[in-house]
Structure 1
Amino acid sequence: MADITLVRQEATEITEADRVVARRVIFSIVDGLGGTGRRQWRRFWNRVFKLEPGEMIDIKTHQARLGWFHRKHMALEQVLFEAQDKFETFEAFRTWLKVGSGFVDWYPGPKGGVIPVPRSISYSKLEQGDMEKFHGDAIDFLRTEHAGKTLWKHLSVTQRLDVLETILGNFGE
C-alpha cells in the first residue's frame, strides 16, 4: 500500500479552461466505479484543486492482488518445502525464504545489533507489485549456492540445480 502526501505548490493560477481540460483528461482515463465511486472521485479532485499553497492531503492506494499469482506462489512454496531436507516446519521454511530474499524489516536487536523481521505476505496486506517483487527476489535467492546447499546438503551442486530448476520450470520460472 502506498501512502502519498500531496502538497500544493506556489500560488499558480489555474484558469477555468485548464480545469475543464484537466477534468476531461482525468475522468476519461480513470473514473470511480458506480455512481458513488464517480461522486467520490470528483469530490477528491475538487478538494485537490482547492488546496491552498502549502496545504497537504494524504491518500492511500492499494492495488489488489491477482488470485492466480498468489496461488501460484503459494503452490511453489509448498512444492519446494516438500522437496527439501532442512526444515521441519513450513513456517520455518517460509521465514528462511523471506529472510534470504530480503523481504524483511530491520529492527534493533536485544544486544545492540540489528535483526531481520520477515514481513507479511498476507493476501490482504501486500499489494500485487510488492508480491511480484518478493516472488522474483525469492526465485533469485533460491538459485544461489547457499540456498541450494541449505535445502539439499547431501546433493551435489549439479543435482541441486537439477532439482530446483525442475521445480521452478514446472511453475514457468
Structure 2
Amino acid sequence: MHTAIDQAHFRDVMGHLPTGVVALCGLTPTATHPHGLVVGTFQSLSLEPPLVTFSVAHTSTTWPKLRTARRVCASVLAAGQEDVCRALSSKQPNKFADIDWALSDLGTPRIAGAHAWIECDLTQELEGGDHVIVVARVVRMATGWGDPLIFHKGRLGGFGAPSMV
C-alpha cells in the first residue's frame, strides 16, 4: 500500500538535495534568437555511449521550441550567474537580450563564463509524471572556471558563499 505524499512536504524534503543549475540553450531554424531554459535535474546517465539526462515540466512553454533544435548546449552556470538563471527562467520573448553568449562552431549557444559546457544531441523523451525525461548524447564538452552555481532549499549560491535569493 502506498501512502499519499503531500506535495509541499515532498518539495521541502527534496529541496535539501543541492543541485547544479544548468542552462539548456539551442537555436531553431526559424528563430531570430536562441531559446533557453534552466534545469536542476541535469546528470550523467551513461559512459558508453556518453549520455546525459534532464527533465522538463510539461507546463514549460520553452521546451516545445527548444526540442526542435535537436542539438543543445548545456551550460553549467557558475557561481555569480544568478542573473543568467533569472533571465532564462523568465517568460520574456527574448531571454537572451541581456545574456553574454556566443555560438559554438557546432551551432549551439554557449553562456559566457559558465562553469562547464556540454553540447549534445537530443535522442529520446520519456514520460515522467508531470515532467518529460530527456536523454541526450554528448558530442562535445569543455570545462570553464570557478565554482558552480547551486540551488539548495529554494536559494541560489555557490560553495562557501552566502546563498542569494
Please give the TM-score of this superposition, normalised by the length of structure 2.
Answer: 0.23
More helix by share: 1
More strand by share: 2
Which has the larger Rg?
1
Please give the TM-score of this superposition, normalised by the length of structure 1.
Answer: 0.22
Q: Which has the higher contact order (CA 8 A, sep 6+)?
A: 2
